[in-house]
């Protein structure tokens, strides 16, 4: 078979047809409340439907277009107003345009020579994010997700405390200790494992009823770790925990970090966007005292996956010193332009996807004011939802389930099975998607994410009605 699209115009024709499918299936049907959120199939059936096998011979264009249609049909419609399942949802068309353009330009963020526009753009976007944190200067890069951003913070913090680690490795280190709340993201554990710190050396600090770290317990836990011979170096606070959306009190945490000489990291992957909002930014009061911040605009800002920044207050090039390997085929020091523009060696990756364009284009389109309104709208959605749930509190106490099992010794055990059953039903019927989890002393409960600007009160009311309908037996 001849190489397809030797003639570019044929390729462009195919792309035009494919775009029509994408717009129809993903962006029209995929955002229409009358359509399903997901078209559930068991894995074997789905694999057969998709005809996944890769063969010797290529397929004709019309068949490929059908395959694109199938991929769209059987994929979850995360742009759908009734997709409440993750910390991302909805669609921003400017950001989406940026995502398409990024793909079409297909470059890597590492050097000015292959990504001149994006090197300058990343610098501008990061600088603007840093200024919202309250830093006039600093450093940072976009990373493939919040977990990676958090890992960067831990790695750079360790490097600041023990620069010899880069050359000599773990042999040169004492037992190190990390501190984070009981409800922080699991990436802290991953980072400790990945970096050879050890998950047993992640000390979990108690939280209050609202899921916020208790600073007094942080102080006590640090002393406990020291008494066990560990050397504290890193406190990982959270602004917007993954399940409860709790904001740790940053001022008292910063006081402790100052006193103890510890790196303070704020994982604001979820909550960072409140910094756009005059009404809600108080939730992160004290963030400017942190050494590093993780912020994922792909969550509350809707830039699309992935867009996660690690921001640092540092102005001494710690990020570069910590990660550089000075590849002479990429980062030549005798380049004809200022080689400090080649930011790639700050990264632990080599090739790095461009993640700044979608955010930049969206920000240009709606301005900081528009992003502020987006955050405020998400909070207003949450308030509406809480009020609606309060109105239904009575329904719970008169429900068949409650009346039957209220005094049963296995009440909690039975209750924990309710959310998974309702989840299965919603997915098989395709009516909506939301996630569940146990947490602390609570058995499985639903977590509903209401950030999409396309979301209406009717969608949220539908969701509550639908939970009642699906669980009505
Ligand atoms: N940090 C990723 C969170 C994923 C989610 O809960 O949607």
Q: For residue 467, how far is its CA from the centre of ligand 1 (angstroms)?
A: 22
Give burial (CB, 10 Å; 0-12/13-18/19+) of 46.
middle
Kindly indicate the confidence band of residue 299, based on its pLDDT and cuts at 50, 70 and 90.
Answer: very high
Q: Given 3.10.20.30, 3.30.465.10, 1.25.40.10, 3.90.1150.170, which CATH number is that of 362-470?
A: 3.90.1150.170
pLDDT at 7 over 90: no
pLDDT at 402 over 80: no
Residue to mutate (ligand 1; options 78, 84, 86; most atoms within 8 A of CB): 86
Average the pLDDT over 192-217 and give the result.
97
For residue 119, the model assigns a pLDDT of: 98
Full DSSP string of 259-280: HHT-EEEEEETTTGGGGG-TTT
Q: For residue 115, how far is its CA from the centre of ligand 1 (angstroms)?
A: 30
For residue 473, the model assigns a pLDDT of: 83
- Stretch (H or E) spanning 363: helix 356-391
Query: Beta-carbon neighbour count of residue 256 at 10 Å?
Result: 17
Give the nearest ligand 1 atom to 243 CA: 6
Average the pLDDT over 173-202 and give the result.
98
Cα–Cα distance measured from residue 78 to residue 55, given in angstroms and rounded to the nearest whole number: 31
ipTM comes to: 0.90
For residue 440, the model assigns a pLDDT of: 87
Q: For residue 86, how far is its CA from the centre of ligand 1 (angstroms)?
A: 6
Torsion of Cα atoms, 205 then 206 then 211 then 214, to 10°: -80
140 Rama class: left (phi>0) / alpha (psi -120 to 50) / beta: left
For residue 107, the model assigns a pLDDT of: 98
Tokens 């059987």 appear where?
74
Q: For residue 388, how far is its CA from the centre of ligand 1 (angstroms)?
A: 25
Give the nearest ligand 1 atom to 447 CA: 6
Q: For residue 87, how far is its CA from the centre of ligand 1 (angstroms)?
A: 5
Q: For residue 265, how far is its CA from the centre of ligand 1 (angstroms)?
A: 18
Residue ranges of the chain assigned to CATH 3.40.640.10: 108-354
Q: For residue 434, how far is its CA from the centre of ligand 1 (angstroms)?
A: 12
Q: For residue 44, how far is its CA from the centre of ligand 1 (angstroms)?
A: 27
Residue to mutate (ligand 1; options 78, 84, 85, 87; most atoms within 8 A of CB): 87
For residue 1, the model assigns a pLDDT of: 66
Question: Has this prediction a pTM greater than 0.90?
Answer: yes
Q: For residue 146, how far is its CA from the centre of ligand 1 (angstroms)?
A: 9
Minimal-distance CA residue to ligand 1 atom 1: 146
Give the nearest ligand 1 atom to 86 CA: 7
Fold designation for 108-354? 3.40.640
Give the nearest ligand 1 atom to 85 CA: 7
Encode pLDDT of 160-185 as tens digits.
999 999 999 999 999 999 999 999 99
Q: Which tokens in the block code for residue 223? A: 């002393």
Q: For residue 89, how far is its CA from the centre of ligand 1 (angstroms)?
A: 11
pLDDT at 404 over 90: no
Mean pLDDT over the full length of the chain: 95
Give the nearest ligand 1 atom to 242 CA: 6
Residue ranges of the chain assigned to CATH 3.90.1150.170: 362-470
Give the nearest ligand 1 atom to 449 CA: 7
Kindly indicate the confidence band of residue 6, based on its pLDDT and cuts at 50, 70 and 90.
Answer: confident
Give the nearest ligand 1 atom to 187 CA: 1
Residue to mutate (ligand 1; options 183, 242, 446; most atoms within 8 A of CB): 242
List the one residue out of 358, 384, 395, 356 whose CA is nearest residue 450.
384
Q: Which tokens in the block code for residue 301? A: 């800002």
Question: In the structure, which protein residues have their CB atom closer than 6 angstroms to any atom of ligand 1?
Answer: 86-87, 146, 185, 242, 269
Q: Which residues contact 230 (CB under 8 A, 6 or more apart)?
A: 174, 175, 176, 177, 201
Q: For residue 301, how far is its CA from the centre of ligand 1 (angstroms)?
A: 14
pLDDT at 46 over 70: yes
Average the pLDDT over 196-203 and give the result.
98
Give the nearest ligand 1 atom to 87 CA: 7
Q: For residue 269, how far is its CA from the centre of ligand 1 (angstroms)?
A: 9
Give the nearest ligand 1 atom to 147 CA: 1
Tokens 């006193």 appear where?
259
Minimal-distance CA residue to ligand 1 atom 7: 86
């Amino acid at each position: 078979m001849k190489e397809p699209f030797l003639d570019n115009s044929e390729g462009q024709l195919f792309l035009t047809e494919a775009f029509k499918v994408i717009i129809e299936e993903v962006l029209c049907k995929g955002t229409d409340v009358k359509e399903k959120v997901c078209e559930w199939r068991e894995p074997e059936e789905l694999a057969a439907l998709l005809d996944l096998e890769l063969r010797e011979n290529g397929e004709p264009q019309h068949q490929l277009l059908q395959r694109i249609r199938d991929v769209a049909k059987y994929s979850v419609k995360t742009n759908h107003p009734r997709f409440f399942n993750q910390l991302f949802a909805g669609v921003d068309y400017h950001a989406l345009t940026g995502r398409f353009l990024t793909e079409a330009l297909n470059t890597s963020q590492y050097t000015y020579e292959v990504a001149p526009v994006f090197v300058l753009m990343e610098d501008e976007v990061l600088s603007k994010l840093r200024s919202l944190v309250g830093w006039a200067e600093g450093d940072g890069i976009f990373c493939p997700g919040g977990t990676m951003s958090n890992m960067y913070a831990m790695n750079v913090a360790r490097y600041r405390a023990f620069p010899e680690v880069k050359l000599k490795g773990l042999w040169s280190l004492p037992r190190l200790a990390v501190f984070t709340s009981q409800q922080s993201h699991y990436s802290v554990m991953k980072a400790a494992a990945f970096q050879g710190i050890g998950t047993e050396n992640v000390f979990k600090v108690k939280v209050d009823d609202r899921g916020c770290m208790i600073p007094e317990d942080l102080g006590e836990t640090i002393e406990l770790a020291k008494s066990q011979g560990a050397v504290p170096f890193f406190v990982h606070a959270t602004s917007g925990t993954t399940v409860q959306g709790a904001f740790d009190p940053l001022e008292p945490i910063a006081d402790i970090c100052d006193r103890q000489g510890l790196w303070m990291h704020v994982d604001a992957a979820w909550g960072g966007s409140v910094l756009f909002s005059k009404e809600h930014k108080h939730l992160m009061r004290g963030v400017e005292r942190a050494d590093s911040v993780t912020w994922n605009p792909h969550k509350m800002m809707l830039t699309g996956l992935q867009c996660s920044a690690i921001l640092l207050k540092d102005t001494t090039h710690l990020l570069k010193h910590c990660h550089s390997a000075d590849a002479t085929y990429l980062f030549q020091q005798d380049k004809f332009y200022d080689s400090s523009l080649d930011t790639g060696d700050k990264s632990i990756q080599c090739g790095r996807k461009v993640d700044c364009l979608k955010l930049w284009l969206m920000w240009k389109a709606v301005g900081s004011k528009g992003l502020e309104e987006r955050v405020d709208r998400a909070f207003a959605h949450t308030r509406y939802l809480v009020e609606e749930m309060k109105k239904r509190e009575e329904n719970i106490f008169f429900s068949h389930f409650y009346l039957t099992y209220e005094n049963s010794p296995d009440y909690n055990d039975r209750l924990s099975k309710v959310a998974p059953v309702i989840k299965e039903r919603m997915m098989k019927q395709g009516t909506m998607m939301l996630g569940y989890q146990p947490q602390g002393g609570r058995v499985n409960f639903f977590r509903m994410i209401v950030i999409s600007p396309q979301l209406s009160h009717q969608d949220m009311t539908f969701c509550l009605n639908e939970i009642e309908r699906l669980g009505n037996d």
